[in-house]
Amino acid sequence: MVEMLKEVQFAVCIVLCFGVSFSTKATAPNWNALTYTVEGTLQLPYAEITEPFSAYYDAKNKKSRIDYYGGMVITIQRSDMTKFGVSYKLAPMSTEKQLNMDMCFQVNGTNNDDAVTIQSILPDLTGFDMIGVEMKSGNNCTKWQKVDVQGKKKNVYTMWVGPDGKMPVRYEMHGYDSLLGSHYDKYYLDYINFGTNAIDKSKFDPPTNMTCGGFPGPGIKEHRIMMNPMREYINNDQTHIDQMFGFYKNQHSKQYPSVEEHEQRKHIFRHNVRYIHSKNRAGLTYRLAVNHLADKSSEELKLMRGFRYTPGNHGGLPFERSKYNLKDVPANLDWRLYGAVNPVKDQAVCGSCWSFGTTGTIEGAYFLKTGNLVRLSQQELMDCSWGEGNNACDGGEDFRAYQYIMKNGGLTTEEQYGGYLGQDGQCRKDKVTPIAKLKNYVNITQYDQQALTFAIAHMGPVSVGIDASHLSLSFYANGVYYEPKCGNKPDDLDHAVLAVGYGTMNGEAYWLIKNSWSTYWGMDGYVLMSQKDNNCGVATDATYVIIE
């Protein structure tokens, strides 16, 4: 009797909330059998991404299309073409020489297991139960849920449907891993402007003004998901992550000591891959790619940013603009071509970037004076400059390193001191002979990009601080890097790098920056950093040295 009363109360609640008659046996909508259009956003909270989309779906004619970022990237699925279907992707592609070329990519289905199928952006609600009524996004909605448990993982999928029983409102996925004791996955899709009118068939046609070819480079599974990104979110397809993570582990010789850490690293990798793919769909002036940092947590990435800015007088000399004709510079410059720059190193998970910026500018100045390129010791600076206020793997500043070198009669070579360790070590300065000796160092006028250009052209590579806190820089691959969220005030700077040149690409002025995150990162360890708005603070705290 009590159970019957509760059922009646629930049914009454639904009638009152919706103004229509629903029963507790309500039928879930079957969007996958319809022709529909819908707009919305995909939200990836862990990556802080909100990605707009527009979708076109024609079940009867076996065609679908999804546009991302206002049509910056378009994916088309045609299972009506050829035996196993065809998919197309229209997107801008950037290389080291050219930005944002409009391209068309084509991938054909090859067999029943790898056939191209049409992609709904609305979930199949088979197996979902209606668990109640709830307000969502200003709508009285029925709430549908499915719980999927596989081993230690529990995935909860929830869909809110509008009062007409057809209008999609929100789709959520929450994944919990009891092995790790934490939520490992979360994403949302919010929907607006749902309609079921007929769709012009030309919406699904590939372009006629360009030839559609295959993707350059390896990675078949990654190409599949790039051709149809929503498959991962709507169909819970993780096969590309499994394959990519296996390749990643082999490529970078990754071994994890426990099952728990392996799963945690794979979760981090998944979120970073999603971030990379989403940012690349935004049509930026640069591209991102999976690199050796893709299994690192935000905390570990932060450990690699060891620049610690100190306000006030840093000593050294001011840059005297009146002494120079600042227009006396070449239009572009790359000191690597003249032999003034050593190969890129890997600082590892250690906040020693300040030592690399320091040695880089001294090596360049020493080359310009002597004609000899030497490899100076970052490890000596890490081990021995504590008295000047540097803290080895826990951060430091270039001016403190200069002061150490001037007090101690110079800096020795890596050959004498021993190789870079990626960790704190015992100071051995009394067992080596200094090679590079400094008269002084110069602080380039803050925010003066013209002065920085002149200094690079006439004094050699320059040590600079940047804001490297954004994930987009961690996975930079090529193109001119411009991050609108990047800070350029002194307190924003958290990473030291080396400016070894400058130039323009398609009218976009850039600084050529050498990093210390290995050759797996960026363009063999380099980034083209946009000069626009003093992006990331390249011209905020720059220094060079005067060799004795």
Query: Which of the residues 291, 515, 534, 535 is marked catalytic?
Result: 515
pLDDT at 23 over 50: no
Quick check: 78 and 86 in contact, CB under 8 A? yes
Q: 342 or 151, which is more confident?
A: 342
Mean predicted confidence (pLDDT) in 339-349: 95
Query: Which of the residues 141, 271, 495, 534 is marked catalytic?
Result: 495
Mean predicted confidence (pLDDT) in 359-367: 98
* CA max distance for the chain: 97
Kindly report the average pLDDT of the chain as a whole number.
90
**CA distances, 231 to each of 63, 123, 187, 243, 313 (Å):** 15, 10, 13, 16, 56
The domain made up of 298-309+317-547 has a fold known as: Cathepsin B; Chain A (3.90.70)
| CA-based nearest residue to 234, from 245, 225, 244 | 225
Q: What is the H or E stretch that residue 398 is in?
A: helix 398-407
pLDDT at 343 over 50: yes
Q: What is the H or E stretch that residue 42 is in?
A: strand 35-44
Query: Which of the residues 141, 353, 384, 486 is marked catalytic?
Result: 353
- Return d(Cα 236, Cα 319) in angstroms, integer: 58
CATH 2.50.20.30 residue ranges in the chain?
Answer: 31-283
pLDDT at 19 over 70: no
pLDDT at 98 (0 to 100)? 65
**CA distances, 193 to each of 98, 123, 154, 290, 427 (Å):** 37, 17, 32, 35, 66
| CA-based nearest residue to 513, from 484, 481, 469 | 481
The single-letter DSSP state of residue 232 is H
| CA-based nearest residue to 502, from 533, 470, 460 | 460
pLDDT at 363 over 70: yes
Active site residue 353: yes
pLDDT at 412 (0 to 100)? 97
Mean predicted confidence (pLDDT) in 241-259: 93
pLDDT at 268 over 80: yes
Residue 14 burial (C-beta neighbours within 10 Å; 0-12, 13-18, 19+): buried
Mean predicted confidence (pLDDT) in 19-26: 50
pLDDT in tens, 447-506: 999 999 999 999 999 999 999 999 999 999 999 999 999 999 999 999 999 999 999 998
Quick check: 173 and 186 in contact, CB under 8 A? yes
Tokens of 355: 């030592």
pLDDT at 177 (0 to 100)? 74
Amino acid at site 240: H
CATH 3.90.70.10 residue ranges in the chain?
Answer: 298-309+317-547
pLDDT at 309 over 90: no
Active site residue 515: yes
Tokens of 391: 């803290």
Mean predicted confidence (pLDDT) in 355-382: 97
pLDDT in tens, 176-202: 877 666 667 889 999 999 999 999 999
Supply φ then ψ for residue 112, to 5 degrees: -60, -35
Mean predicted confidence (pLDDT) in 356-384: 97
pLDDT at 96 (0 to 100)? 59
pLDDT at 152 (0 to 100)? 81
pLDDT at 222 (0 to 100)? 66
Residue with tokens 């990643």: 248
| CA-based nearest residue to 229, from 50, 68, 376 | 68
**CA distances, 304 to each of 16, 173, 231, 293, 495 (Å):** 57, 32, 34, 11, 8
pLDDT at 288 (0 to 100)? 95
Tokens of 365: 């100045």
Which ranges in 291-429 belong to alpha helices (H)? 298-303, 353-370, 378-384, 398-407, 414-417
The single-letter DSSP state of residue 126 is T
Provide the whole-model pTM. Answer: 0.85
Residue 370 burial (C-beta neighbours within 10 Å; 0-12, 13-18, 19+): exposed
- Return d(Cα 17, Cα 217) in angstroms, integer: 54
Q: Which of 17-31, 49-63, 525-539 has the lowest mean pLDDT?
A: 17-31
E-strand spans in 283-337? 286-288, 317-318, 333-334
Q: What is the H or E stretch that residue 360 is in?
A: helix 353-370
pLDDT at 387 over 60: yes
The domain made up of 31-283 has a fold known as: outer membrane lipoprotein receptor (LolB), chain A (2.50.20)
Buried/exposed code over 43-72 (b: 16+ C-beta within 10 A; e: otherwise): bbebbebebebbbbbbbeebbbbbbbbeeb
pLDDT in tens, 494-533: 999 999 999 999 889 999 999 999 999 999 999 999 999 9
Vertex 97: Cα angle to 96 and 100 (nearest 5)? 85
6 — pLDDT class (breaks 50, 70, 90)? very low
**Angle at which helices 239-251 and 259-280 cross, to 10°:** 110
Tokens of 306: 């060891």
Q: 46 or 427, which is more confident?
A: 427
